[in-house]
A and B are shown apart, each in its own frame.
Chain A
Amino acid sequence: MSSEKPQGRILIWFLPALTGLVRRGLAGWAILIGSAIVAVVGVITVVSPWISPYDPIAINVGPILSPPSFEFPLGTNHLGQDMLSRVYSGGAIMFQVAILSVIVCLVVGVPVGLYASYAGGHIDQLASFVMDSIYAFPGLVLAIAIAAMLGPGVVNMALSIAVVYVPSYFRIIRSQVLTIKELPYVEAARMMGAKGSAILLSYILPNVIASIAAIATINFADAVLTAAGLTFVGLGLPVSTPNWGWDLTYGRQLLTSGAWWVITFPGLMVVLLALGFTLMGEGLSELLNPRLQK
C-alpha cells in the first residue's frame, strides 16, 4: 500500500478509527451501524440519476398500480411512476432539508446559547425564558403552523424544523456552559485577564462541541421525520420533486385499495434513514456520558 496515494492515507486513518469504535462496545457499534446506514442511503441518493431505471417523475412509464414485478421491482403508483426510481431519488430532498435545518440551528442556536449562558444574569434569563417557551410547545404543531404560513419549499421546511429545534441546542449548550464556567481553570483564566470571547472560544467551545455533535445527529433524525410528517399532512414540497413524503401521502390513500407497495418502500427508506441518524446520535451521547465509571 503506497502512502503517497490519498486512498492509502484515508485507509490508514479509517481502519484504526473503526477498531477504536468497535472496542467501545455497544455505543461504538451503534455509531458504526448508524453511519453505515446513513452513508449507504446517502450514496444511493447521490448516484440515483445514474442508477434509476426510469425518470422518477415521468408518469405512465408503466401500467398504473402494478405490483412489484421483474420489470418494476417495487411496483408503480397511481400515476404509473416507477417506485424503484422514486425510492432511489426521494432521499435527496430529505437530506437537503435535514442538512439545512441543522445548519440554521448551528448558526443560530450555538452562538446564542454560548453567549447567553456565559453572560448570565438578565440576558440568560431572557434567553432561557424564550427558549423554554418554544421548547414546551408541541414541536410538530409549531412546525405545521410555520410551514403552513410560509408555504411549500425546502428552505421553508428547513426553517420550520430549525425554529422548533433551536431550543434543544440552547438547553444542552447552556447546561454544559454553566458547569464549565464554574470550573477552577476557567476562573483562573478570567483572573489572568482573558477576554470573555477568548475564554468562550478556547475553553468552553471545545468542551461543548461533543454534545453539539450528539444533538446535531438527533436533529438530523428528527428533521427527516418531521419533513416526512409535514409533507404527509400536505405542507412542504411541490409534487414535482420526487419525495418519499408524497409517496407516503398517496400511498396511504391507495392502501385501502390493496396497493401496499406504494407506501411501504418509501416508508421503509424514511425509517431507515431516521434509524441511521438516531443510532449515531444515541451512540454518540452514550460515549460522551460515561455513566457507570468505576
Chain B
Amino acid sequence: MTLRSYVVARLLLTIPMVMLLLTLVFLVVRVLPGDPASLHFEKQVDPQMLMEFKRMLGLDKPIEVQYLDYLAGLLKGDFGKSMQDFSPVSQQIFSAFPATLELAIFSMIIMILVGVVLGAQASRSYNSLQDHSIRVFGIAAYAIPVFFLGEVMIMVFAIYFHLFPAGDRFYAGVTPMGLTLGDLHLETGLYTVDSILEGNPSKLVMSLRYLFLPSLTLGTVLSGIFIRLTRANMLETLQLDFVTAARARGLRERTVVYGYALRNALLPILTMMGLRFAALLGGAVLTETIFSWPGLGRYLVDRISFRDYTAIQGVVVFFGLLVAMVSLAVDTLYAYLDPRIRY
C-alpha cells in the first residue's frame, strides 16, 4: 500500500466518524434539553414571540428537517445563527479561531519541548534522583487544574512582578497588520506571524509577551502526560534488541539514543500528540477564560452565559471537525514515518 492509498483509506474511515460526531452534537444540543429555544429565555415569554424567534433560527421545523438543514449548512460552511443577534456563527468562529490557533501552537511547542526532553532525560538516568524528580514534576503538572496554574502565573508574574500582561492579546488598536503589497493583503490572524510579515519587530515582541503566560500555563499542564509517555516509551525502546545490536556495532551513543531509540519511541508518542490535541482544545477553553484571551474557548464560555445554544452547537461542531482533521494529519504523518504501517 502506498502512502496515498493509505491516506485515502483513512479518509474514508474518517467520514463516518465525523458523521457520528455531528449527529451526537445535534442530539445533545437540539434533542436533549427538549426545546433549546424556550430554554434560552429564562422567564416566560409570549408564545407569538417564541414562534417568531424559532422561525428566524429554523428551530420550528420538524427535527428530521432540522437535521438535514444542519448537515447541508455545514457543507457550505454555515455553522448556524446566534440566538443573541441572529448573526452567523461562522463569522465569529473564523475571527476567533486564529487566536486559539496561535495559543495552541505555542502551547504545543512548550508541551513537546518540556515533555519529550524531560522524558528522554528521565529514561536515560533510570531510577536516579533526576528520574524521580522529573516524574514527580510530571504528575504534579498533570494534577494541577489549568485555571489554578494560570491564576498563580498571573498572580506571580503579572501582578506581583509586572513582568507580563495579565490578559488579553494585544494593545487595542495597534494589532499586527500583516503584509500589504499594493492590492495584495496577507494576514494570517496569528499576531506573531503577522508582525513578521509586517516587518515590525516591536509588535512581534509585544505579541510574544502576551502569548507567553497563557502558552506556558497550558503547555506545562499538558506536558505532564507527555513526560510520562516519553519516559515509558524510551525505557521500553532502550531495552529492545535492536538498540543493543546497534551498540554492538559500535555506533555512537548519541546515534543510538536519538536515531534508534527515540526515533522508534517517537511513533507512539506522535499518536498521543494527536490525541492530546483534543485535550489541548479543552484546556484552551479554560486558559482563554482566565487570560481573557479572545479565542474560540472564550467565545464558547461567553455563549454559555448568554444561553446561546445554537452558537454553542456551532462552536462544538467546529471543535469536532478540527480534531478529526488533525487526527487525520497525524495518522498520515505516522504512516509516513513508520514504514511498517504502509508496506
Contacts and interface: CB of A to CB of B under 8 A. Distances in A.
B89 interface: no
Contact of B25 (A145, A228, A235, A271): A145
B25 to A, nearest CB: 7
Most B C-beta atoms less than 10 A away, residue of A139, A141, A221, A251: A141
Contacts of A132: 17
Interface stretch (B79-87, B177-185, B189-197, B281-289): B281-289
Contact of A149 (B20, B32, B228): B32
A228 B236 CA distance: 36
A252 B290 contact: yes
Contacts of B280: 138
Given A138-B323, A255-B155, A256-B166, A149 B309 contact: yes
A274 B301 contact: no
A134 interface: yes
Contacts of B78: none
A140 B147 contact: no
Interface in A203-252: 221, 225, 228-229, 232-235, 248, 251-252
Contacts of A192: none
Contacts of B316: 141-142, 144-145
A279 interface: yes
Main secondary structure of the interface of A (DSSP, over half): helix
A270 interface: yes
Interface string B269-303: 00000010011111101100110000000001100
Interface string A256-294: 100010010001001100110011001000000001100
Contacts, number: 135
A26 interface: yes
A44 interface: no
Contacts of A133: 17, 20-21, 24
Interface in A123-154: 129-130, 132-142, 144-146, 148-151
B144 interface: yes
Interface residues of B, number: 56
Given A233-B286, A252-B290, A270-B148, A141 B281 contact: yes
A99 B313 CA distance: 29
Nearest to A271: B144
B140 A136 contact: no
A284 B17 CA distance: 33
A141 B304 contact: no
What range describes how many residues of A lie at the interface? 35 or more
Given A146-B28, A278-B142, A279-B139, A136 B147 contact: no
Nearest to B232: A291
Contact of B309 (A138, A148, A235, A270): A148
Nearest to B224: A278
A248 B144 CA distance: 13
B301 A229 contact: no
Contacts of A139: 278-279, 282
A138 to B, nearest CB: 4
Given A137-B320, A278-B142, A229 B24 contact: no
B154 interface: yes
B324 interface: yes
B122 interface: no
A44 B28 CA distance: 37
Nearest to A270: B145
B132 interface: yes
Interface in B180-216: none
B285 A278 contact: no
A146 B32 CA distance: 9
Contacts of B283: 140
B175 to A, nearest CB: 23
Interface in A71-118: none
A285 to B, nearest CB: 10
A68 to B, nearest CB: 15
11 contacts: A130-B20, A137-B21, A139-B279, A139-B282, A141-B319, A142-B316, A144-B300, A144-B316, A148-B312, A232-B289, A251-B151
Given A137-B21, A275-B143, 9 more contacts: A138-B319, A140-B279, A149-B29, A225-B145, A234-B304, A255-B154, A255-B159, A271-B145, A292-B235
